[in-house]
């Protein structure tokens, strides 16, 4: 397991990060503990979660993921050996996060979020505290290939300087060590950095954005931004919510799959996506690999990825994701991937 420094921080994280958003919904506490045990034994020291989790977000399960992770850390007594990353929600109309009112990235809401997350985790600090998505009126993911018409600034938009000042308080209070961004654009990353240069608050050390064979939009502008500004990419959804595992090939709908349970995969069901998925999965098999192994190996191979966030609902799935580290990504594989990408583009941004 390769270890890498995260941005300009002193956090050294594993090349694979375990995503935990299934814990508390698709996975029980016992199953979550088993996944974390396996990951830890294989060299993973990095766990990612959010106050929102598990997925799908519901008032009755919100926060369960952090409780399960906290219970594992307490039981194993390994807090000094794991890097804990969590997130505060951006602007949200869902009222259950703040006890009956919508959420924004203002001081009262961020303070409420961090205190509740620390209580659920049973910890004194979070190593990497990320803004899950912006307060601004932007498409989810913040890096589309087409800009919708309704992106005018909101009249009550929370200024980035105001949000960053709250994170400055959190760092000084010892509640968090570093700030990370998520689902953010090049403009947003640079605005946070500019405010940090003015000493408004901490400099972001990471960006957690979707990155996979079907969505390489990070490469358009963000790759240069993050490389030159030393912001580490934490790539999420390497399997495109399971579509790049091959389990949905040919219209299959496996029992217990996320699509069968929740039907929330519309991000990867846009025009042209199904043809691209079939082609990439066929390519993987042509190279003698399973689609999941091939898709993870692609993400692992990219020089701008600090850590690949993998998720699973079983230790078998997790084992396959970890085995992708053994794949030697060849120039032939990259040429084939790039050739297909030239034809199909990013159908699932």
Strand runs (DSSP E) across 1-152, as ranges?
3-5, 12-14, 16-19, 46-48, 83-88, 126-131
53 in catalytic set: yes
Residue appearing with tokens 């490389």 = 227
The set of residues, in sequence order, having a beta carbon less than 8 Å from that of 33 and lying 6+ positions away, is 68, 71, 72, 75
Nearest to 316 by CA among 251, 230, 228, 247: 247
The set of residues, in sequence order, having a beta carbon less than 8 Å from that of 291 and lying 6+ positions away, is 244, 245, 246, 249, 280, 281, 284, 285
Phi-psi region of 44 (alpha: psi -120 to 50; beta: other; left: phi over 0): beta
Q: Give φ, ψ of 299 to 5 degrees.
A: -60, -45
- Within 10 angstroms of residue 297's Cβ, the number of other Cβ atoms is 23
Spot the catalytic one: 53, 178, 211, 268: 53
Gap between the Cα atoms of 42 and 286, Å rounded = 28
Gap between the Cα atoms of 258 and 171, Å rounded = 36
State yes or no: cis peptide before 327, omega within 30 of 0: no
Residue 183, both tokens? 């689902």
Gap between the Cα atoms of 296 and 86, Å rounded = 22
Do residues 24 and 68 make contact, with C-beta atoms less than 8 angstroms apart?
yes
| Active site positions, annotated | 53
């Amino acid at each position: 397991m390769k270890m890498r420094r995260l941005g300009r921080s002193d956090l050294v994280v594993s090349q694979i990060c375990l995503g935990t958003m299934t814990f508390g919904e698709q996975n029980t506490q016992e199953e979550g503990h088993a996944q974390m045990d396996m990951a830890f034994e294989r060299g993973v020291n990095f766990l990612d979660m959010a106050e929102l989790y598990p997925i799908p977000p519901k008032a009755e399960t919100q926060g369960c993921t952090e409780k399960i992770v906290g219970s594992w850390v307490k039981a194993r007594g390994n807090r000094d050996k794991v890097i804990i990353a969590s997130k505060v929600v951006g602007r949200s109309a869902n009222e259950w996060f703040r006890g009956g009112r919508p959420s924004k990235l203002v001081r009262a809401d961020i303070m409420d979020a961090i205190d509740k997350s620390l209580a659920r985790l049973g910890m004194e600090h979070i190593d990497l505290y990320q803004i899950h998505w912006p307060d601004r009126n932007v498409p989810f993911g913040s890096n589309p290939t087409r800009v919708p018409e309704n992106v005018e600034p909101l009249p009550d938009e929370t200024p980035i300087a105001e949000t960053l000042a709250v994170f400055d308080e959190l760092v000084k209070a010892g509640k968090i060590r570093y700030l990370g961004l998520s689902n953010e654009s090049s403009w947003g990353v640079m605005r946070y950095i500019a405010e940090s240069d003015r000493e408004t608050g901490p400099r972001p050390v990471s960006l957690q954005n979707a990155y996979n064979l079907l969505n390489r939009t990070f490469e358009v502008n963000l790759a240069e931004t993050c490389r030159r500004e030393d912001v580490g990419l934490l790539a999420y959804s390497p399997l495109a919510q399971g579509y790049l595992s091959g389990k949905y090939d040919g219209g299959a709908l496996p029992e217990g799959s996320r699509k069968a349970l929740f039907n929330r995969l519309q991000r990867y069901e846009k025009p042209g996506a199904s043809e691209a998925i079939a082609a990439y999965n066929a390519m993987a098999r042509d190279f003698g690999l399973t689609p999941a192994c091939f898709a993870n190996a692609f993400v692992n191979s990219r020089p701008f990825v600090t850590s690949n966030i993998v998720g699973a609902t079983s230790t078998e799935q997790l084992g396959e994701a970890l085995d992708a580290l053994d794949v030697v990504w060849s120039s032939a594989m990259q040429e084939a991937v790039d050739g297909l990408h030239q034809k199909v583009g990013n159908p699932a941004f």
